[in-house]
Amino acid sequence: MRIKGFVDLSMVDWDGHVVSVVWTPGCNFRCGFCFNKTLVLKPESLSDVPEEKVLSFLDANRRFLDGICITGGEPTLQPDLDVFCGKVKKLGLKVKLDSNGSNPAVLKSLISRGLIDYVALDVKAPLNPESYGRVTGVSSESLVERVKEGISLLMNSGLDYEFRTTVVPGLHSEDDIRMICEDIRGAKRYVLQVYRPGDTIDPSFKMLKPPSREFMLKLAEIASKYVKEVRVRGLV
């Protein structure tokens, strides 16, 4: 599997777990606020991290690690994602997958084969083409339907999961979060993430300030009426 970034130890990428993290190149979304600009737009400019290096580290340190987080980019675009997950599982480690939910067939295959243990699925906006296009730069009915399918798949899979939304000033209102929560009503876990400016795909997002603590807590209050567990991630 193509890997463009590797962190050997993280305690923030999977709540309650000590993991390594790998980043895969490329994405089928173009979210203006995404801070992995080079990974999405110019992945060829980044050096490859040999898969063997990652697996060797995992093998040597599996006594101290719970598993690995596979993020991106969009990992489900990698044709050999399942093979890599299988290699990690053979080491006795857990696999967390970060995904935008646009490839439900890949998710279904990974889940049915027992190759992943946790999925963090981004729900970028209310599930309609206009809202998704505004936030992701990609607008189509088929895309939204695929994300809906991914959401339904997770909610009925028995696998541990979270849905999450990065709250970006100017893109997400109270009504947006309410509509998202209606779309995921009854979900096990919903995480509201604080937007932090970085080297974003759209440079204008660099100038935005993070949403306030008060606003994030208000959104959490709204979400708590729809889902079983609400977390706010990134408050300072």
What domains, with CATH codes, occur in the chain? 5-233 (3.20.20.70)
Closest listed residue to residue 69, CA positions, set 102, 1, 35, 116: 116
Predicted local distance difference test score (pLDDT) of residue 236:
82
pLDDT band of 65, cuts 50, 70, 90: very high
Burial of 45: CB neighbours in 10 Å, binned 0-12, 13-18, 19+? exposed
Statement: residue 105 has pLDDT above 90: yes
- pLDDT tens figures, 112-132: 999 999 999 999 999 999 999
Q: How much of the chain, in percent, has pLDDT values that exceed 70? A: 100
**Coil, strand or helix at 159:** coil
Residues in the chain: 236
- Residue 51 and residue 84 in contact, taking contact as beta carbons nearer than 8 Å: yes
Predicted local distance difference test score (pLDDT) of residue 141:
95
- Work out the end-to-end distance of the chain between its first and last CA atoms, rounded to an integer number of angstroms: 36
pLDDT band of 32, cuts 50, 70, 90: very high
What is the residue-wise DSSP string for 14-72? STT--EEEEE----S---TT-S-HHHHH-GGGSPPPPHHHHHHHHHHTTTT--EEEEES
